Structure 1
Amino acid sequence: MKFHGWLLDVDYVVENDRPVIRMWCIDDEGRSAVLFDRTFEPYFYVVPYGDVPINTLENIADEVGGEIIRPVRVDVVDRKNFGVPVKAYRLFTRLPRDVPYLREIAKRYGDVREADILFGVRYIIDKRLIPMGGIEAEGEPVEVDYVDIALNCEQPKGMPRDGEPPVKIMAFDCEMFNPRGMPNAKEDPIVLISICTGNQVRILEASNQNDKQIIKDFIAFIDEYDPDIIVGYNQDSFDWPYIIERAKRHKIKLNVSRDGSTPLHGRGGLQKKVKLIGRLNVDLYQVAARDVDGVKIKTLDNIADYVGVMKKDERVNLSGVEIYQYWLDPERRKDLIAYSRDDVVSTYGLAKELLPLQYEFTRMIHEPLDNVSKMGRGRQVEAYLAYIAYEHGELIPSRAGEVETYAGGFVFEPVKGLHKNVAALDFSAMYPSIMIAYNISPDTVCEAGDQDCSEPAPEVGYRFKKQPEGFFTTILKNLVTHRSTLKKRLAQLDRKSNEYRMLDLRQKSIKILTNAFYGYTGWAQAKWYRRECAEATSAWGRYFIKKANDIAIEMGLQVLYGDTDSLFVEMEDNKRLMDVVRQYIQRVKAELPLDMDIDNVYRIIFFTESKKRYAGLTDRGEIVVRGLEVRRGDWCEIAKELQSEVIRIILEEENPDKAAKFVKDTVQKVKSGKVPLDALVIHKTLTKSVTRYESAQAHVKAAERAMERDMAAEIGNKISYVIVKGTGTLSDRAYPVDMFHKFKDSKLYAKDKTYEIDADYYVDKQLIPTALRILGYFGYTEDALKGRSVQGTLESFF
């Protein structure tokens, strides 16, 4: 029997004390399939310390639970270590679980390599498979009851395929009963589970406060619909753990995986991870947190609004602390159901917008989609390198030990204030271009006495071999060439066509990964970490941006601001600006090994005294904001909205007096208690456990109080808190917003006490500072914005 389809995931099971690879697939009609390979063996490498006989490693053993574990066999293979040929021993084991035990013993005799690669990923690498890409196989069919098609095979073949696989996507979202603010899975039931499959939206309701039946209905729906991908928004950290705990309390087997198993629940880095066997579980919050740059507070409604899935003013908006009240009130319950429906429809819409790029990352990186969607950019680069290393016979290095910091890009301090007619110029792929030009790669670093090396990098003096081409250099050149080819094809296509859309996603994924290589070489967790590469690349970058500045001055351009790989320029005769800029770009390209493009042209732009903080109005009428409070997560929503409106008025209307009046009006609204609670909430992420913070920061104190009330406050959680009136430090007055069940007239009602919002804090420490960041340049002071009149004129600031 032949199979032709799409590969989704790879895992394994143990049968008869041997591992059996399972390739989870769908065919072109969307039917589920699993391909079994019973021939693949787990293994790892050992690069011996000196002359270690092969039988030494053949005879290593460990006793685990009364069982003796030893290698199945050992062979000798030719590999490369940072480009240098080496002999390595390859140790095969009986089961993947044997690898960690034998690895520890093998470390006595050599440098152990690739013992931490997951068995399913090892299979993908060795068999050259492409998750979310095509797969062909031939073998004997077998009977299983959890997929439509199953067969045994030994030689599956991966192949590139255009388009998207015909996957079935299911989105879900839960609402919990929360009379104490933040719901507790041990006590508070799930009252609604909303499900969306595109054409269908289904709302499961609890019977009063008993959620046993809706959990069963949820399981039954998954079994009947049989989705290939399940998505949610922050479901790995909230919805799934909550459902798992509620199912446990009701003694329900949560058999939602394709093979009938229950979810695997663990932690990876700052994020929790949930694995569903045979299905791809994708947390869209983790995708948005990494890949959506335009929104700082990445709530579901903010992201859905930003990408155009559902506008905030077109959906039902409720305060999370009031959910239980809406549930208990028969008249208002319909609003809660509508709110839940909007949540799940938004989630499904986000999946349709965000997943196609994730498919391309998956195909490039060669790990399953659910893994890739949760990886940071450094891990993505490393997974890609691991796949390519196999082609080159390169051993994956052990993880770096102690690392050192190094200088980053050069910054020309901004010329603060307002400027008109400014061109923003961008060095396209600066760091990849430098690495290619100087053959900068972990395996090309010149040691003392090496011949035929490049000229020394400025400031740091590192040199790199001219030949042979480095491992990274080869990869980067291939990526750049491939992207260039795609862009030429794009130029010939209709921008509205599906082919254009797919190729555009592909070139974007290549661009993102290519630009991440430089940062990866200096990343502390990188297996291919090499400080010399990171330092030399950034040193050349600093050198070239200074040279570009010198050329700009020669040509009559003034550099208003420069940072790492970009320059903002103006000139006195602004009518000639664009002609001179085009000549400048041609000269830069001719004299430096870099490419440069016009990123934006600003009618008017405002620089603060700090780097990376500016706002401008482009010639297309778009407002671009970088680094100001409106873009940052540790400011409340009303402060960010205030600054955003001040920026708009200054840039579009050029009227600082009107902007100042808006600030005064907003101050009065806060003081009179006429703003919703959501506008006053501050969000900050816990990056370590609360006990490891040296100082009592506000969000840490709020997290401690959340934990006292059995609310979630784990590493990676975003702590949402407000500041109330009272004595003591700011931290003493920080309380998690989820502990309150009602807010009215500045009063916050908790289970056992009533608090009052500290309006003075919000005015003095949130509103006024964000306003003065802009209006201070026009002569306005804190007193003026609180009511005393001070004139500001725009003309004097050009």
Structure 2
Amino acid sequence: MKEETINAFLLTRHWRDTHQGIDLQFWASSPSGPIRLLYPGQQAVCFIARDATIPANGFQLTRKPLQLTDMHGNPVDGLYFQKQRQLEQLRDRISGSSTLLMESDIKVSDRFLMERFITAPMQIKGQSVQRKGYIELTNPKIRPSDYQPNFSYLSLDIETDGTAGNVLSIAYCGNGIEKILMQGNAEAWPSDLPIQWCADEAILLRQFLSDVQQLDPDLLLGWNVINFDLDYLERRCQSHRIPFSLGRGGEIAAILQPQQAGQTRIASIPGRVVLDGIDNLRAAFWSFESFALNHVAEKLLGRNKLISGNQDKLAEIQRQFKEDRPALAAYNLEDCRLVEDIFHKTDLINFATQRSAMTGLSLGRQGGSVAAFDNLYLPPLHREGVVAYDIGAFQHTQSSPGGYVMDSQPGIYKNVLVLDFKSLYPSIIRTFQIDPLGMAFPGSDPIPGFLQAEFSRERHILPSIISDLWAKRDIAKAQSDKALSQATKIIMNSFYGVLGSSGCRFYDPRLASSITRRGHEIITRSRDWLEQAGYPVIYGDTDSVFVLLGETYDEEHASETGKKLAHELNQWWNKIIQTEFRLVSALEIEFETHFLQFIMPTIRGTETGSKKRYAGVVRNKQGECELIFKGLESVRSDWTPLAQHFQRELYRRIFFKEPYEAYISNLVMQLRQGDLDDQLIYRKRLRRKLDEYQRNVPPHVQAARKLGKSSRWISYVITINGPEPVEKLNSPIDYQHYIDRQIEPVADGILHFLDDSFDRITANQLTLF
């Protein structure tokens, strides 16, 4: 054994009850290799009001008075348990009674890290022992650090012969390594690919587990990798009685099945983290019409899978395994390469790393905004001498409103400026000191909120947390670290949603309303100031106002005006907040966009202006004019490619004063002649099982039932006999449906501002058919 100080990054956390107490185990990645930290004999802890009683029989615990209070200022005791199961039994016993536990819903492993202010990067100091493939320390001291890891990884993909059949091949790549494990033999299937042939499935599975132990990656990457690949591998290992020893040190891994509908599987692999491409893209707010690997790879990389989406994938895999196994090996490996390259292109590993380092969430965990809030908020709350209640301890009858959306003034305009409040809700929290602790103990000179809420000027936590994150984001933007900047922005903006969620232990409508209603006030007062200064506001949306300049401005003058208005409005708000609240403003309004041309449509069939739907022309960074659409048909996946392409081209022609009548007439003629059939496909996802749709059966479900086989996504067209799947089209297409439901609504959405209509343009043409 030797004394060591090591910087590391947390990978996985585990706990288990033993006769001697609770054993904690943490795995971390370090420059010295994998590290296992052991903390035996720990205790679970929660809190209870000092005057509260608990059942006398059947519970092994120690109760101690503490120098802590609850959120109402009442003194509390600590309850200490040798086993986590004992705490859970007490919680179950008193559930529904008037006795409230505090922080009994925090996992013992999470609390251990949280109270030491460990998110993920840490410095470890203690006596180390070299084990086979990793370093082990027992009861070392740990403290936060700023260590940035360089993870090793493998991108993984499997091919199978059906939903419950053999694993035919397993491919992986990463850190310069590529390999395919496949059933078969080299003599029968010569190939230059890096294939290792395995005589049967059991040998293939054992070889894969052995390879993972030898290569020892920190991360496993994949596409739907937990729900399919790893879950499938575990079940096939079980069928062969092969230990699923995917963890470090040969430890057994488990794919934990969902306990409730809507939950997802969780990969518990000691010492390794699984990062799924779909989940992490969504967490980083990437948006695609479909998250199928082929579609995302085409959009991001300009590449496709080697078996196209138009083929029967399973049938082709089975054919290749029977007739051309090297082709199947190439397909399997290319899927791994696509996933690896998508992770590189989007910097997803860095995004996940920075998010974990800031929030304390496990590296592979998605969502978890409430848990992230707890990780950041509870430790400083305890330093203030206060503990929090369990989630759901109190019920509230009031509610808080959402973001403010101003009534719009429909029309086609020139020179519209968008002034945007930078991270409005976080800046409101910072400015008005909105905080659970500050609301619980507002002091003698409080800051007014809404719904009778008041906040302390001196005693608060959340504004400081946001200020720290804000500073990190500014640094990240200055260093062009898009992943860190995005992760920080997402975390800051999640705080309002957390405080407005009943799943948060600090949920109180007064907190959320003091944010949203202040936002309403800021937008409406900003509009009033702009209009008094002579600048009409035609729309406002949560954190933005749309200012009309009109015909007389050239681009340079419009840009100068936008900057001037943002500067003056910031100055005005600084003065207002100082005068009315005796506070320093953290509000920051920016001149965000100059629309050269702009349309604010009406709600279909009315004269009322729409909300969250508009389009316009901006000049992009390349100096070119670019069309921007928000909420309209061209950016909605439930409209056909025909409608999307038609809207973009029609709006372009009208914005740039090009003829449009012949374009509309010719498109209708091409549609009726069948020249545009490939653009008439609707694509929609099935959210439930087919037999669960009983009343008001939507078109995509009708098409799915006609398909005769299960499919997650349904591609269909509308025929004279109703919706039919593309793969099983038996009837003529109903072209009038597409004219009435796709083309005409898009056209009239803009033509009526020109005192024109789709009917007028196509009236003569209709007599020809």
Please tell me the TM-score bracket, short chain as reference: 0.7 to 0.9
Which of 127, 139, 143 is the aligned partner of 1:157?
Answer: 143
Query: How far apart are the structure 1 equivalents of 2:523 and 2:569?
Result: 10
Whether the 8 Å contact between 1:441 and 1:470 is mirrored in structure 2 is: yes
Which of 540, 544, 551 is the aligned partner of 1:562?
Answer: 540
Q: What code does the residue aligned with 1:370 have?
A: G
How far the C-alpha of 1:435 sits from its partner, in A, is 2.4
How far the C-alpha of 1:561 sits from its partner, in A, is 2.0
Which of 579, 582, 587 is the aligned partner of 2:568?
Answer: 587
Say what the alpha-carbon RMSD is for the aligned residues.
Answer: 3.9
Pairing 1:413–2:407 present? yes
How far the C-alpha of 1:596 sits from its partner, in A, is 0.5
Whether the 8 Å contact between 1:130 and 1:159 is mirrored in structure 2 is: no
Q: Which residue of 1 aligns with 2:227?
A: 237
Whether the 8 Å contact between 1:422 and 1:602 is mirrored in structure 2 is: yes
Pairing 1:425–2:403 present? no
What TM-score do the two structures reach when normalised by structure 1?
A: 0.79
Query: How far apart are the structure 2 equivalents of 1:19 and 1:44?
Result: 15
Distance 1:13 1:535, change over 3 A: closer
Query: How far apart are the structure 1 equivalents of 2:666 and 2:591?
Result: 35
Q: Which residue of 1 aligns with 2:195?
A: none
Query: How far apart are the structure 1 equivalents of 2:228 and 2:349?
Result: 21
Whether the 8 Å contact between 2:155 and 2:172 is mirrored in structure 1 is: yes
Pairing 1:91–2:82 present? no
Distance 1:780 1:109, change over 3 A: closer
Query: How far apart are the structure 2 equivalents of 1:768 and 1:194?
Result: 50
How far the C-alpha of 1:24 sits from its partner, in A, is 0.3
Distance 1:294 1:52, change over 3 A: closer
Q: Which residue of 2 aligns with 1:292?
A: 285
Query: How far apart are the structure 2 equivalents of 1:138 and 1:234?
Result: 39
Q: Which residue of 2 aligns with 1:114?
A: 103
How far the C-alpha of 1:36 sits from its partner, in A, is 0.9
Q: What code does the residue aligned with 1:418 have?
A: I
Moved more, 240-249 or 352-361: 240-249
Query: How far apart are the structure 2 equivalents of 1:270 and 1:220?
Result: 31
What TM-score do the two structures reach when normalised by structure 2?
A: 0.81
Identity of aligned residues (%): 19
Whether the 8 Å contact between 1:103 and 1:112 is mirrored in structure 2 is: yes
Moved more, 116-125 or 291-300: 291-300
Whether the 8 Å contact between 1:12 and 1:22 is mirrored in structure 2 is: yes
Distance 1:638 1:45, change over 3 A: farther
Query: How far apart are the structure 2 equivalents of 1:92 and 1:703?
Result: 56
- Give the length in aligned residue pairs: 715
Q: Which residue of 2 aligns with 1:361?
A: 355
Distance 1:368 1:556, change over 3 A: same
1:412-491 to structure 2, matched below 5 A, reads 412-445=406-439, 452-455=445-448, 457=450, 462-481=452-471, 483-484=473-474, 486=475, 491=478
Query: How far apart are the structure 1 equivalents of 2:324 and 2:738?
Result: 32
Q: Which residue of 2 aligns with 1:398?
A: 390
Query: How far apart are the structure 2 equivalents of 1:142 and 1:342?
Result: 38
Q: What code does the residue aligned with 1:616 have?
A: G
Q: Which residue of 2 aligns with 1:740?
A: none
Query: How far apart are the structure 2 equivalents of 1:38 and 1:90?
Result: 21
Distance 1:574 1:682, change over 3 A: same
Moved more, 115-124 or 383-392: 383-392
Q: What code does the residue aligned with 1:173 have?
A: D
Q: What code does the residue aligned with 2:504 have?
A: A
Distance 1:784 1:704, change over 3 A: same
Query: How far apart are the structure 1 equivalents of 2:766 and 2:720?
Result: 31
Distance 1:130 1:322, change over 3 A: closer
How far the C-alpha of 1:527 sits from its partner, in A, is 1.8
Q: What code does the residue aligned with 1:44 have?
A: C
1:217-256 to structure 2, matched below 5 A, reads 217-256=207-246
Pairing 1:200–2:177 present? yes
- Structure 1 residue runs without a partner (length 5+): 62-69, 178-182, 492-499, 713-717, 738-742, 749-753, 791-798
Whether the 8 Å contact between 2:28 and 2:35 is mirrored in structure 1 is: yes
Query: How far apart are the structure 2 equivalents of 1:472 and 1:76?
Result: 28
Pairing 1:612–2:596 present? no
Query: How far apart are the structure 2 equivalents of 1:675 and 1:166?
Result: 46
Query: How far apart are the structure 2 equivalents of 1:256 and 1:786?
Result: 68
How far the C-alpha of 1:255 sits from its partner, in A, is 2.4
Q: What code does the residue aligned with 2:157 have?
A: D
Distance 1:689 1:219, change over 3 A: farther
Whether the 8 Å contact between 2:27 and 2:36 is mirrored in structure 1 is: yes
Moved more, 689-698 or 253-262: 689-698
How far the C-alpha of 1:563 sits from its partner, in A, is 0.6
Distance 1:560 1:73, change over 3 A: same
Which of 530, 545, 553 is the aligned partner of 2:531?
Answer: 553
- Structure 2 residue runs without a partner (length 5+): 190-198, 574-584, 603-609
Distance 1:194 1:454, change over 3 A: same
Query: How far apart are the structure 1 equivalents of 2:268 and 2:764?
Result: 57
1:137-186 Cα distance to aligned partner (Å, 9 max, x none): 2025274x5x422222242333222x3x1211111223444xxxxx5x23
Query: How far apart are the structure 2 equivalents of 1:533 and 1:249?
Result: 53
Query: How far apart are the structure 1 equivalents of 2:375 and 2:744?
Result: 46
1:699-778 to structure 2, matched below 5 A, reads 711=710, 719-722=713-716, 733=723, 743=727, 747=728, 765=741, 769=745, 773=749
Pairing 1:524–2:502 present? yes
Whether the 8 Å contact between 2:159 and 2:168 is mirrored in structure 1 is: yes
1:687-730 Cα distance to aligned partner (Å, 9 max, x none): 89974987534556678899x96x58xxxxx6445357586xx6
How far the C-alpha of 1:394 sits from its partner, in A, is 3.6
1:617-696 to structure 2, matched below 5 A, reads 617-620=617-620, 621=624, 622-636=626-640, 639-640=643-644, 643-644=647-648, 654=658, 656-657=660-661, 660=664, 663-664=667-668, 667=671, 671=674, 675=678, 680=681, 682-684=683-685, 686=687, 691=692, 695-696=696-697
How far the C-alpha of 1:565 sits from its partner, in A, is 0.6
1:646-700 Cα distance to aligned partner (Å, 9 max, x none): 556666785535763684477358x468539xx8352336289974987534556
Query: How far apart are the structure 2 equivalents of 1:564 and 1:248?
Result: 52
Query: How far apart are the structure 2 equivalents of 1:92 and 1:252?
Result: 39
SS at match of 1:237: helix
How far the C-alpha of 1:535 sits from its partner, in A, is 1.7
1:24-73 Cα distance to aligned partner (Å, 9 max, x none): 012214x222111114222222235xx246xx56x442xxxxxxxx3342
SS at match of 2:599: strand
Q: Which residue of 2 aligns with 1:167?
A: 151
Q: Which residue of 2 aligns with 1:538?
A: 516
SS at match of 2:504: coil
Query: How far apart are the structure 2 equivalents of 1:260 and 1:408?
Result: 47
